[in-house]
Chains A and B, each alone.
Chain A
Amino acid sequence: MDNFLLKNDRKFGFTLVELIVSVGVFSVISTIAIGGFINALRTHRQAMALMTANSNTSAAIEQIAREIRTGKSFTVSGQSNLSFENAAGNNITYDLIGDSLTISENNDPAQKITDENVLVKYLSFRIINNIIPLVNYPSRIVINIGVAPRDIKTSVKNIDIQTVVSTRNE
């Protein structure tokens, strides 16, 4: 009976070589898999950062463009500071403070309108108004904004967005 058990063990067990080979194969494959998983996490983080940068910029430009469209009396100081009177008669200032877009209403403290994770590299407003030959044209405000995700390197180095808004109020 003892012999029967012994033989049975030999039949169903693994030899050392088999064990080493299988553990080796398993570790190689799991190394690849874990590497891939880490890579996937990084990719996901990059994708999220890019999406955040894009959606934040869209929202900010949309807000600025809407207000400019119905605004009047535009002035630019520096390059990134745009002041004007909005439809409600309030004095609005958009500016780049630090790395964030900000809005200030009636000289109240500036409030950020972009996220901390979005790096606004530059912001520039240009007023195309009364320069020859564009005399007596409604003001065109050219908005240039360059953004990138903060702290996360992606293949998209810089998102350069430009749009023009023509005021309807002049």
Chain B
Amino acid sequence: MIHDSRFMTQDSRLIIHDPKLIIRASGSMFHVSRSMIHDRSGQAIAEAIVALAILTIGYMAVLALLNRSLSITQVVSDQNIATYLASEGIEIVKNLSDANIKKGNSYNEGFGVGSYEVSYLTELESDNSSDGDNDNPGFRIGNQSDFSPDPLRFSPALGYSYDLASSPTKFYRTVRILPPAPPSGQMHVASIVIWNQKGGGQSSVQLEDFLFSN
């Protein structure tokens, strides 16, 4: 194409020197070549626009990635909170076990395999048999594969607890005593915190610990 148009213009130049005469003498030929030149420069702009559009799309992808990094940082915040809540669950079981030892009982007195809800106010059943929850420690919610249906609740005064006056959070904590069933030389404890992520999907943190016989 390019070669063609150049050839034709050069051709017309060779015949007549006066530009006015070009139009008159070889009008149709000149017009063809002009429109071809016009097309070419249009192509250059179209190419530039396409190139810029591709660059912009690529750039937007990078921006989207950066925004994603912010939301991932928020997930990290949640994981941070959840890890400490899970560690609280383990720590309470450890406290109950230590209390058993302090009172001269077996370290796993009152523990049975299953899932529990515990909070920092959780006591062993033997200390308060009148509060209605007949399984201990804490509130037994079922066997070892069950999850707590109650969210942890938060208030500035009480922190995270199951206190009904506090407002529910997205965190659900289940503490499990896993087999082998007591009495045995070790107690397998798992503390699981699950929550729904902003924008879908469920996250969880699971901590495990082994408590040993005194």
Given A18-B41, A54-B80: A47 in contact with B123 (beta carbons within 8 A): no
B31 at the interface (CB under 8 A from A): no
Q: Does A50 lie within 8 Å of B73, measured CB to CB? A: yes
Which one of A20-28, A83-91, A94-102 is at the B interface? A20-28
Partner of B80, one of A26, A57, A132, A154: A57
Main secondary structure of the interface of B (DSSP, over half): helix
Q: In whole angstroms, how far apart are the Cα atoms of A21 and B19 in the complex?
A: 29
Q: Verify if B128 is at the interface (C-beta below 8 Å from A).
A: yes
Which residue of B has the minimal Cβ distance to A138? B98
Contact A156 B77 (CB under 8 A): yes
A61 closest partner in B (C-beta): B84
Q: Which of A140-167 contact B (CB under 8 A)?
A: 140, 142, 144, 154-156, 159-166
Q: How many of A's residues come within 8 Å of B, CB to CB?
A: 55
- The answer to whether B95 and A137 touch across the interface, beta carbons within 8 angstroms, is yes
Measured CB to CB, the nearest residue on chain B to A145 is B84
Could you tell me the distance between the alpha carbons of A133 and B137 in the complex, rounded to whole angstroms? 13
Roughly how many angstroms separate A58 CA and B83 CA in the complex, as a whole number? 10
Do A54 and B77 touch (CB < 8 A)?
Answer: yes
Contact A162 B88 (CB under 8 A): yes
Chain B residues, Cβ within 8 Å of A161: 80-81, 84
Q: Which of A4, A11, A25, A29 has the most CB of B within 10 A?
A: A11
Find A156's partner among B48, B74, B95 (CB 8 Å cutoff). Answer: B74
Contact status B99-A164, CB under 8 Å: no
CB distance from A76 to the nearest CB of B (A): 14
**Contact across chains for A140 and B95 when beta carbons are under 8 A apart:** yes
CB neighbors of A among B127-170 (8 A): 127-128, 154, 156, 159-160
CA distance A47 to B85 in the complex (A): 23
From 1 to 50 in chain B, residues with beta carbon under 8 angstroms from any chain A beta carbon are 5, 9-10, 13, 17, 19, 37, 41, 45, 48-49
Give chain A's interface residues, CB within 8 Å of chain B: 3-4, 6-7, 10-11, 14-15, 18, 21-22, 25-26, 29, 32-33, 36, 39-40, 43-44, 46-47, 50-51, 54, 57-58, 61, 122, 124, 126, 128, 132-138, 140, 142, 144, 154-156, 159-166, 168
Q: List 16 A-B contacts (CB under 8 A).
A: A25-B48, A36-B59, A47-B70, A47-B73, A54-B76, A58-B80, A133-B123, A133-B128, A136-B99, A137-B96, A137-B102, A138-B95, A159-B77, A163-B84, A163-B85, A164-B95
